[in-house]
Structure 1
Amino acid sequence: HYPMLDGDVDNWYKVTDAARRQGNVRLFIGGHYHAIRNLKYDGIPGILMRSNLRDENGKPGYGIYEVDSKEIRAYVQNVGEPKRLVAVYDIQKPCYDPKGKAEKYPDYSDNSKFPQVEEEWITQTTGAFYSSPAFENNRVFTGDNEGFVKAFSLKNGKLLWKFKTERRIIGGPAVSQGIVVCGSADKKIYGLNAKNGQLLWTVSATQPVLGAVSIKNGIAYIGASDSTFRAIQIRSGKIVWAYRGVKGYIVTKPLVTDDKVIFGAWDNTLYALDKTDGKEIWKWTGGLTRMHFSPAAVWPQASFGKVFIVDPQRAMTAIDLQNGKTIWRTFQSKVRESMGIAADGKRIYAKTMQDSVVCYAAEGNSPRQLWACNVGFGYEHGPCMLQEKGGIVFGSTKDGLIYAINGKNGTLLWRHKVGNSLMSTVVPISPKKILFSNTDGQVGILKINKSKRP
């Protein structure tokens, strides 16, 4: 579907290197841009075909490819019109060097610029991680695209146990009191023994469970795609309450305050429920009408009587914690879905869509930017939350970069590139140790060695 280009596919260079070695790959066919484009993927011909949706002239259509011993001919067939030839590709003559290389490879120069950042261990798995790891005592817990919940040694990354669910895991697991809780696209929520992965209980939903888990005082809070948000006792698996008023599906990690549970869904809505019985307290939509602008991926934060969110309309919003009314909403910074909060609750951090991280004051009834840091990560839309530990803000990107910023003044401390794929929200164990996972199937720990500062 996607073109094999930098910015469209994380591992485009691996794909083109592999295809080039075959020697007989003649054409990549795709369609992501819904328009006809003739491209070169590191020398290998590529074409993007129009969508079968109506074009600017109201005509639906599709592509037709004719192949013979000499060439590939690509046509556009608009409904009610003669087919139109748009490209011809010779399949007899060589069009690229099978021993050649990609025109560009990912840049890992940051790792030599900041030698104090070391990879303590990285474990390569076969499944992709679309959610953050969790840890307790000496174990790290993950959920992956193959449907496995896995436990690794916090010390060296050795696999300790694994438990197989029936479908992929998108929402991150949580662990407390020796119990791991995780949802799965197999329509179940699982409680597992953290020591050995033994199944303790399951809760069934009627649709996939894609939400991340929050645990507080022995209660797990998790949303699913069956219009339901649940509170579950982690020791017994007993449902404490279930709120069934959600219109969209849920992927976020809910915020649990002293008396409320707050989460967004893909229905333009932020929900606030009573933590004790699950009754609806308020709903916020902020006038959003397009589903794609929903505050659904962001992990909400609360401080000074306000709930803070960012959303894909590129706005940051402060909402009254008690009644759900908008206190302020700003488009000053080009934010999207990634944010975080200082440990003391005084600062709100957000990642923008171009290069920078911004910081706003949590106090007050109007938006007030405190600092902006040019991290230099380029165009960015990965939903990776910002996490603070010991006054240091840690973040990550869609291109495998992890970075650290001084939370008080916005000074960039370091950057380290782990790979070239989407990073999950990092988990700082301490200011000197950062747990991470990514869609390349890696889980690992970065450590800071101050003796190697540049």
Structure 2
Amino acid sequence: MLKKVLLFCVLLWGCLLQAQTEFALLTDIHVSPGNANEKALADIIREINEAHVPFVIITGDLTNQGSNTELLNVKRMFGHFTVPYYVLPGNHETTWSESAVKEYFKLFGNDRFAFRKDHFFFIGYDTGPFMKMGDGIVKQEDMRWIDRTLSRVPPGVRIVSLCHYPFTVDDLGNGPEVIALLQKYHTSVAFCGHGHQYKNMIFGGLHDVMLRSTFLAGDSGPGYSLIRLTKDSVLVDEKLVGGVCRQRYAFAFSANDTLVSVPSYENGVPLPPNVHLSLIYQDTASIFTGVAVGKQMFYFGNSLGYVKAVSKKTVQPVWSYSTGYPLYSTPVDDGAQLLVAATNDTLYSFDAQHGKKRWQLAGDAPFVADGIIKQGKWYQGGYKKFYEIDPLTGSFNWVYSDLGSYCQARPAVASGKVAFGAWDGYLYCLNNHNGQLTWKWNDGKRQTLFSPANCIPIIHDNRVIIVAPDRYMTSISLLNGHTLWRSHAYTVRESQGLSEDGRTVFSKLMDGRLLAVSATDANFHPLWVTDAGLGYEHAPCPVIMYKGVVYLGSRHGVVVAVDEKTHAVLWRIRCGFSEVNQFTIDKAGAIYFSLAEGKVYKITFGTSSR
């Protein structure tokens, strides 16, 4: 055994000889308790420790679903490293987190790092997506942090960038902006994961090297990467557990002086003269909530945890309140008060005009779901619980406590029932008078990532219609939860809406088309489908209809208006690089929507932009 260990150390150090700075890089390790990746990680940690590799960087997808149990397990395993290690989250930690990513921060402290080693400065940052399906994005506050941090790097020190997503625009929405920022400081090389393969991409002279996952398709066994940085070059080696090194890439640092242009977003099908689209507010942080709109102000929550109220007239902030954690639940405007469900485990009521806190109500887990006011009651999903709240007194009327995971989309309330999904694979229907379960429905699969959790159910004519990530549209009896029809003829996902007369369900398809389906027929009956020109789509932004026009929002910040009668695209405009969160129509007929990059837009109609 001792001879094998000594032989292994000789082989591994052979990979690292003659290097100025060397380290191991792990990515996409996807560890769950008891799976093959868990054993492979234990073997990798043992190899790295025995060879005294100077340090380790792990660039995301530590787990499969980002659950608290998985995170605790992988943190325990990392504790066996005898060398320093630096960790970033991946999309599997930030998209489906039962703790709204709070458990990750509790265990690992931060979702970014910066440190110097020899003549190299390493900077790592989070690329999301954040608590819903979408493209990756580097948050606005992280962009400013990268800028500040790199501005202090001494001359002659080479910069190394690390994150989970590659810079390709189909993966990282603001990839061009990130590259431009890194080029500003002459970054020497970038490393990423996500693709589960080796791939050397070049953006304006900047190498962005994608590295292997623990297991590769058809591979002979688990492995990881060893990186060597000299004063003028990069060497990337693949290391199979128990085997020799194999060189994957060797290249010289380039001048990195071919600037990547940041795209202009004014394109598409132009607006008609009577439609006015205005960027009315740019926040200093990212926005993952929709916009609530009152008589005099509009409201949203941002990724720094602030609830913000902005004057509709002056478009200036009027008040704000810090909750301490990123917000994902859209505030609810209830006239005189604003209701907020926060990730600090608290429900709030604020005076809508002045921001004075009227009451707060403690929950026992983060809130990420959208809520709704119906008949003077606040219906709000939480983690493994669903609530009816009296918004005047700040007290629970009833609590349903038999969910298997957290809620996300806004519930639907009608005919004495409230319907909603959770990330446990079920759609639930409760009696909204007493909170008793009427029925719960499952698609027959055990895959929780197919849950109908981030789709707003449509209730019409004693039917509940949903779409889900399994790409089925389903009609369910509101009375007993029996499946009426179910179809995967079109690639639906999580985005749908209802026509103004309640007779048609619209769904944005994953190929960028808009599907119209009868809400009243006894069987699945598609009425028409039209190409909205969005291409591949997975953003869950709900579809809305207003005055005969159907509105869609995309993962790339594109908004499309489609005529319901002619099915023609009336206009299509790209407003940014990130996904549209959702639309809200105010009482004056203006449409508000937010983008994850921190923008709030307003659509008005007529001869005046106001």
Paired position in structure 1 for 2:366: 208
Structure-2 residue corresponding to 1:218: 376
In 1, the alpha carbon distance for the partners of 2:274 and 2:166 equals: 37
Equivalent residues of 2:279, 2:599 under 8 A apart: no
Which consecutive unaligned segments of at least 5 residues does structure 2 have? Answer: 1-163
1:124 to 243, 257, 282: 282
Give the counterpart letter for 2:297 in structure 1.
R
Residue pairs, 1:369-408, within 5 angstroms? 369-408=526-565
Alpha-carbon distance between aligned partners in 1 of 2:231 and 2:279, rounded to the nearest angstrom: 51
- Between the aligned partners of 1:179 and 1:37, the Cα distance in structure 2 is 52
Residue 50 in structure 1 maps to residue 212 in structure 2: yes
For residues 310 and 486 of structure 2, what CA distance do their matches in structure 1 show?
Answer: 42
Deviation at 1:450, TM superposition (A): 6.0
Separation in 2 of the partners of 1:161 and 1:350?
36
CA offsets 1:265-302 (integer angstroms, 9 cap, x no match)? 11110000110111100000021321111101111111
* Amino acid across the alignment from 2:196: H
Question: Match of 2:307?
Answer: 149
Bigger fraction of residues in helix: 2
Match of 1:16 in 2: 179
Q: Which of 499, 506, 517 is the matching residue for 1:342?
A: 499
Structure 1, residues 84-142: CA drift from partner, whole Å, max 9, x if none? 21111213xx34325x333x725522264655543345211112111211112121111
**1:85-104 equivalences in 2 (<5 Å):** 85-91=247-253, 94-97=254-257, 100-102=259-261
CA distance in 2, matches of 1:442, 1:162: 17
Letter in 2 for 1:228: K
Q: Are positions 1:84 and 2:241 aligned together? A: no
Distance in structure 2 (CA, Å) of the matches to 1:192 and 1:305: 35
Q: How many Å separate the matches in 1 of 2:241 and 2:168?
A: 31
- The question of whether the paired residues in 1 share the 8 Å contact of 2:236 and 2:249 is answered with yes
**What aligned pairs does 1:153-232 form with structure 2 within 5 A after superposition?**
153-225=311-383, 227-232=384-389
After superposition, the C-alpha distances for 1:366-389 in whole angstroms (9 at most, x for unaligned) are: 111111121101111101001112
Identity rate, percent:
28
Aligned partner of 1:268 among 415, 425, 430: 425
Q: CA deviation at 1:177?
A: 3.3
Range with bigger deviation, 368-377 or 402-411: 402-411
Report SS of the residue matched to 2:572: strand
Confirm or deny that 1:68 pairs with 2:227: no
Q: Secondary structure at the match of 2:180?
A: helix
Gap change, CA 1:262 and 1:355, over 3 Å in 2:
same
Q: How does 1:227-246 map onto structure 2 within 5 Å?
A: 227-246=384-403
Residue in structure 2 matched with residue 135 of structure 1 by the alignment: 293
Distance 2:239 2:387 in 1: 50
Q: Which one has the largest radius of gyration?
A: 2
Equivalent residues of 2:584, 2:593 under 8 A apart: yes
SS at match of 2:181: helix
Tell me the SS of whatever aligns to 2:582.
coil
Q: Distance in 2 between matches of 1:115 and 1:10?
A: 30
Q: Verify: 1:41 aligned to 2:203, yes or no.
A: yes
- The one-letter code matched in structure 1 to 2:266 is Y
Find the aligned partners of 2:264 and 2:488 in 1 and give their Cα distance: 32
After TM superposition, the score normalised by the length of structure 1 is: 0.94
- State how far apart, in whole Å, the 2-side matches of 1:431 and 1:332 are: 38
C-alpha separation in 2, matches of 1:138 and 1:390: 23
User: 2:408 — aligned with what?
Assistant: 251
Partners of 2:353 and 2:588 lie apart in 1 by 26
Deviation at 1:80, TM superposition (A): 1.0
In the aligned structure 1, how far is the partner of 2:502 from the partner of 2:597?
33
Residue of structure 1 aligned with 2:188, choices 26, 33, 46: 26
* Alpha-carbon distance in 2 for matches of 1:280, 1:388: 31
Matched-pair contact (CA < 8 Å) for 2:550–2:561:
yes
For the pair 1:410 / 2:570, whether they are aligned, the reply is no
Q: What are the superposed Cα offsets for residues 422-441 of structure 1, whole Å, 9 maximum, x if unpaired? A: 11111133796210111111
How far the C-alpha of 1:449 sits from its partner, in A, is 4.3
SS for the counterpart of 2:552 is: strand
Contact 2:541 2:554 in 1 (8 A): yes
Structure 1 residues 195 and 451, CA gap change in structure 2 (3 angstroms): closer
**Structure 1, unaligned runs of 5 or more:** none
Shift of 1:21: 2.5
CA deviations 1:334-381 (Å, max 9, x no partner) are 110000001221000000011211100111211111111211011111
Count of residue pairs the alignment pairs up? 446
Structure 2 counterpart of 1:124, one-letter code:
Q
1:296 aligns with 2:453: yes
Amino acid of the structure 1 residue aligned with 2:552: G
Decide which structure has greater strand share: 1
**Cα 1:427/1:344, change in 2 over 3 Å:** same
The SS at the match of 1:378 is: coil
Q: Note if contact 2:203-2:260 (Cα within 8 Å) is conserved in structure 1.
A: no
Q: Distance in 2 between matches of 1:418 and 1:217?
A: 36
Task: Find the aligned partners of 2:487 and 2:354 in 1 and give their Cα distance.
Answer: 48
Answer yes or no: is 1:4 the counterpart of 2:167: yes
Task: Tell which deviates more after alignment, 113-122 or 173-182.
Answer: 113-122
In 2, Cα distance between equivalents of 1:428 and 1:414: 18
- Give, in whole Å, the separation in 1 of the partners of 2:385 and 2:608: 51
Residue pair 2:197, 2:216 contacting (<8 A) in 1 also: no
